[in-house]
Amino acid sequence: MTETTPELACPIAPVVDIVFSRWTTPILWSLHEYGRQRFVELQRRIATITPKVLTQRLRQLERDGLVVRTYHAEVPPRVEYEISELGRSLGPLFATLADWSGNLGKVDAAREAYDERSSAR
């Protein structure tokens, strides 16, 4: 039997790794919803993210081409982030997922049923 890489077994695996890492979706959603923002604005909107993690995620999103960082050489210096065209192209995917979120009640019901069956064993 030959081993298959995750990318070959599931061609969307690399997309999921890029787009659905822990903080990517809240950051992209915030930038899409509210437009260009400074670091502190993003941090306020995503209250549970630490500054260190936000910095790491923004750097990775910039590297992946999903976010654009603009440095303004002023006193004091100002940095703004905005979603790129590539990042915006994820809009239909996010819209589909938002539509699917109507199924979360069914997921909760399935979990409860599973937990009941598991505790009865």
State the Cα torsion 18-109-48-23 to the nearest 10°. 0
Q: What is the pLDDT along the chain (121 residues), one digit of tens a residue?
A: 667 776 677 888 888 888 888 899 999 999 999 999 999 999 999 999 999 999 999 999 999 999 999 999 999 999 999 999 999 999 898 889 889 999 999 999 999 999 999 988 7
Measured distance CA(84)–CA(66) in Å, rounded = 5
Q: What is the pTM of this model?
A: 0.80
Looking at the DSSP assignment, which residues form a beta bridge with residue 113? Answer: none
Measured distance CA(5)–CA(100) in Å, rounded = 28
12 DSSP assignment: T
What is 65-121 written as a DSSP string? TSEEEEEE--SS-EEEEEE-HHHHTTHHHHHHHHHHGGGHHHHHHHHHHHHHHHHH-
